[in-house]
């Protein structure tokens, strides 16, 4: 299908937006009127720029407060409309979005609105223009697509049809299944936006918090499937008002936007049972292959890993890179091209069923490939760059051929650490939603709903990405960016069979875990009714504790080195959380 984007989604001037949309690979754009009004380019220049860029101009929008008005108002609205039709002729745009009246409507009557739209349709014919009528969720009288469709039916004019906008329909909880009863050729345009579940007034929700498909909580694949089953053949077009996207780099946001549409079209085709999906099939990764920490000097991390029970497995045969292993947990320390860099998480290796398919899907979704210099004898690596710059490597389901490049294979260490449990990635605030789409679309991870945790310097937004069997869990966090000199910490959580034993083991090697205050244990004992001797054992070891209906969670933290710290975790029975109630205490302790 053709893909389009409203210029309101992007930052910059109209010309910059057009260049970025074309470079990303969009077929067309919706011209948002304020972008035209502010442009120094004439309509004819915009038209020829679009021609040069290979973009179609698919929609002129919006035209507000037209119908449901008295005669004087209508005459003035017809005059306004005619001026816009003339501009559309100069631009070469044949469809205009007319949204339901929110401000000046005085007559609550389908018949009156229909008659006025019919009159507008007659005028539109003279300019070769079509009217796409949209029910805004906050329209004064017409706020439901079923009512706008009734009005369009009553108008009974070949040049008057509907614009459907997923936000206006799904934000109100209206059942989109009824769309299938609308003849496809009367759906003149389709606008798509996702949004997080929020309880706030629908106008503010729409103007500030729309998201690209796949990033919020609407079921957009099912929505698009209804529209396609109705017989709609126009473009899939994004109309996303979002304060963050309008501040980010226009070229990057355009690619991000297109990725969401490609993902959505693929999902919608699957919902419809088509046997020609757009994207290569992959299943979610099954586990962590490795985590890489990069720094100019990784020796302080080496000390920490040794204290946690990791064994030095060897140095890479051709690079300043070393491998540390504990059970099934592998940590790579990389000093290559790391001048002046403090320790930070630079790469995550994931085990996937089929490396070639994973790489192909990533490329179909425009994930930037990572180029690492390899040598003839080395295993070629397939990797892509996540929005925050973390490199994500695809490793085979079991093959760890790359580990053969390190030394000559010391035996697996049998210590308290058995595997990597989760990797907590701090995200720059402006890339958080893009990261959610990246991990769900490229890797087929599930995005859990967001939570907010109180940190010492503001709320930390958090969303967990996980594989269905929890083999891979990636909590994404956004910390308030108050202190640029202290970037938010990232951490690797290491699964242990017994955290208390692991802490004693680390202590024996001189590692003091992050001290946890007595107040925490007082509260824990009161909250959960803990046995005092159990409480004292936890307190003595600085081990935190949580339990839910499924099971128990024990965890303890190391100090932060550079941007990185480690967590020891133990999960008893079905505990699937991350000890979120402990996080504020941990963050306060780290700040001390």
Residues that bind Mg ion (CB under 5 A): 165, 191, 239, 493, 567, 578
| Residue 49: exposure state from Cβ atoms within 10 A (0-12, 13-18, ≥19) | middle
Distant-in-sequence, close-in-space partners of 290: CB < 8 Å, separation ≥ 6: 323, 330, 331, 332, 347, 348, 349, 393, 395
Residue 422 beta carbon to Mg ion: minimum distance, rounded to whole angstroms: 6
Residue 377 beta carbon to Mg ion: minimum distance, rounded to whole angstroms: 38
Residue 90 beta carbon to Mg ion: minimum distance, rounded to whole angstroms: 23
Residue 165 beta carbon to Mg ion: minimum distance, rounded to whole angstroms: 4
Two structure tokens written together for 123: 């005028």
Residue 166 beta carbon to Mg ion: minimum distance, rounded to whole angstroms: 9
The CA distance from 273 to 205, in Å, is 33
**Residue 324 CA neighbour count, 13 Å, CB half:** 23
Two structure tokens written together for 1: 């299908």
- The nearer residue to Mg ion, 290 or 578, going by C-beta atoms, is 578
Residue 348 beta carbon to Mg ion: minimum distance, rounded to whole angstroms: 15
SS3 state of residue 270: helix
Residue 180 beta carbon to Mg ion: minimum distance, rounded to whole angstroms: 20
Residue 238 beta carbon to Mg ion: minimum distance, rounded to whole angstroms: 10
In 298-416, beta strands by DSSP E: 311-315, 321-326, 329-334, 344-351, 382-385, 391-395
- The nearer residue to Mg ion, 179 or 493, going by C-beta atoms, is 493
- The nearer residue to Mg ion, 406 or 432, going by C-beta atoms, is 432
The CA distance from 65 to 82, in Å, is 15
Residue 475 beta carbon to Mg ion: minimum distance, rounded to whole angstroms: 7
- The nearer residue to Mg ion, 359 or 460, going by C-beta atoms, is 460
Two structure tokens written together for 224: 């698009």
DSSP annotation of 209: H
Under 8 Å between Cβ of 190 and 227: yes
Q: Are strands 391-395 and 344-351 parallel, antiparallel or unpaired?
A: parallel
- The nearer residue to Mg ion, 237 or 346, going by C-beta atoms, is 237
Dihedrals phi, psi of 547, to nearest 5 degrees: -150, 155
| Residue 44: exposure state from Cβ atoms within 10 A (0-12, 13-18, ≥19) | exposed
- The nearer residue to Mg ion, 171 or 191, going by C-beta atoms, is 191
- The nearer residue to Mg ion, 438 or 557, going by C-beta atoms, is 557
- The nearer residue to Mg ion, 151 or 362, going by C-beta atoms, is 151
The CA distance from 16 to 11, in Å, is 8
- The nearer residue to Mg ion, 431 or 578, going by C-beta atoms, is 578
Any idea of the CA torsion for 418, 420, 421, 426, to the nearest 10 degrees?
Answer: 150
How far the first Cα of the chain sits from its last, in Å, is: 55
| Residue 16: exposure state from Cβ atoms within 10 A (0-12, 13-18, ≥19) | middle
Two structure tokens written together for 154: 């009553």
DSSP annotation of 452: E
Residue 390 beta carbon to Mg ion: minimum distance, rounded to whole angstroms: 17
Residue 583 beta carbon to Mg ion: minimum distance, rounded to whole angstroms: 8
Q: Which of 564, 21, 6 is nearest to 301 (CA)?
A: 564
Residue 578 beta carbon to Mg ion: minimum distance, rounded to whole angstroms: 5
Two structure tokens written together for 437: 């789409």
Under 8 Å between Cβ of 433 and 483: no
Dihedrals phi, psi of 508, to nearest 5 degrees: -60, -25
For Mg ion, the nearest residue by Cβ is 165
Under 8 Å between Cβ of 285 and 443: yes
Q: Which of 364, 330, 326 is nearest to 347 (CA)?
A: 330
Residue 371 beta carbon to Mg ion: minimum distance, rounded to whole angstroms: 31
Residue 115 beta carbon to Mg ion: minimum distance, rounded to whole angstroms: 24
- The nearer residue to Mg ion, 165 or 266, going by C-beta atoms, is 165
| Residue 494: exposure state from Cβ atoms within 10 A (0-12, 13-18, ≥19) | buried
Two structure tokens written together for 578: 């991350």
- The nearer residue to Mg ion, 33 or 239, going by C-beta atoms, is 239
- The nearer residue to Mg ion, 105 or 493, going by C-beta atoms, is 493
In 438-563, beta strands by DSSP E: 446-447, 451-455, 458-466, 473-478, 490-496, 544-547, 551-557
The CA distance from 263 to 442, in Å, is 9
- The nearer residue to Mg ion, 295 or 493, going by C-beta atoms, is 493
- The nearer residue to Mg ion, 26 or 578, going by C-beta atoms, is 578
The CA distance from 40 to 417, in Å, is 63
In 522-562, beta strands by DSSP E: 544-547, 551-557
């Amino acid at each position: 299908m053709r893909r389009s984007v409203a210029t309101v989604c992007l930052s910059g001037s109209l010309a910059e937006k057009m260049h970025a949309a074309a470079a990303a690979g969009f077929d067309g754009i919706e011209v948002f009127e304020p972008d035209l009004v502010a442009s120094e380019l004439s309509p004819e220049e915009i038209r020829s720029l679009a021609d040069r860029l290979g973009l179609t101009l698919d929609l002129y929008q919006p035209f507000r407060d037209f119908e449901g008005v008295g005669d004087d108002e209508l005459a003035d609205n017809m005059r306004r409309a005619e001026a816009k039709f003339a501009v559309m002729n100069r631009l070469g745009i044949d469809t205009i979005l007319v949204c339901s009246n929110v401000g000046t409507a005085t007559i609550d009557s389908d018949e009156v609105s229909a008659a006025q739209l019919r009159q507008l349709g007659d005028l539109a014919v003279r300019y070769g223009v079509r009217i796409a009528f949209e029910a805004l969720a906050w329209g004064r009288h017409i706020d439901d697509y079923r009512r706008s469709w009734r009005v369009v039916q009553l108008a009974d004019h070949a040049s008057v049809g509907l614009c459907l906008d997923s936000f206006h329909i799904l934000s109100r909880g209206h059942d989109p299944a009824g769309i299938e009863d609308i003849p496809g050729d009367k759906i003149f345009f389709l606008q798509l936006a996702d949004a997080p579940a929020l309880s706030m007034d629908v106008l503010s929700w729409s103007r500030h918090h729309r998201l690209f498909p796949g990033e919020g909580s609407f079921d957009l694949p099912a929505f698009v499937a209804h529209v396609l089953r109705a017989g709609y053949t126009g473009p899939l077009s994004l109309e996303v008002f979002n304060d963050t996207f309008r501040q980010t780099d226009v070229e990057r946001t355009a690619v991000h936007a297109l990725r969401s549409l490609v993902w959505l079209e693929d999902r919608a085709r699957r919902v419809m049972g088509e046997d020609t999906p757009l994207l290569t099939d992959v299943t979610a990764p099954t586990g962590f292959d490795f985590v890489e920490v990069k720094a100019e000097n990784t020796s302080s991390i080496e000390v920490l890993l040794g204290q946690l029970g990791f064994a030095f497995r060897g140095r890479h045969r051709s690079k300043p890179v070393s491998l540390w292993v504990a059970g099934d947990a592998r940590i790579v320390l990389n000093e290559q091209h790391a001048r002046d860099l403090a320790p930070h998480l630079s790469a995550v290796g994931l085990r996937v069923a089929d490396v070639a398919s994973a790489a192909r899907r990533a490329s179909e979704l425009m994930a930037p490939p990572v180029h690492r210099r390899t040598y003839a004898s080395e295993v070629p690596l397939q990797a892509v760059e996540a929005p925050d710059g973390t490199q994500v490597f695809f490793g085979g389901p079991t093959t760890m051929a790359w580990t053969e490049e390190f030394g000559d294979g010391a035996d697996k260490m049998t210590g308290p650490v058995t595997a990597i449990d989760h990797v907590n990635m701090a995200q720059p605030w402006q890339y958080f939603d893009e990261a959610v789409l990246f991990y769900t679309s490229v890797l087929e991870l599930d995005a859990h709903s967001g939570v907010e945790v109180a940190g010492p310097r503001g709320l930390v937004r958090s969303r967990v990405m996980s594989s269905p069997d929890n083999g891979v869990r990636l909590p994404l966090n956004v910390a308030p960016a108050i202190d640029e000199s202290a970037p938010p910490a990232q951490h690797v959580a290491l699964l242990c069979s017994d955290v208390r034993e692991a802490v004693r083991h680390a202590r024996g090697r001189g590692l003091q875990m992050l001290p946890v205050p007595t107040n925490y244990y007082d509260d824990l004992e009161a909250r959960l009714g803990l046995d005092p001797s159990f409480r004292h054992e936890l307190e003595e070891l600085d081990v935190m504790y949580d339990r839910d209906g499924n099971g128990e969670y024990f965890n303890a933290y190391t100090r932060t080195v550079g941007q990185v710290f480690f967590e020891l975790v133990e999960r008893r029975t079905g505990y699937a959380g991350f000890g979120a109630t402990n996080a504020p205490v941990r963050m306060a302790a780290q700040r001390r």
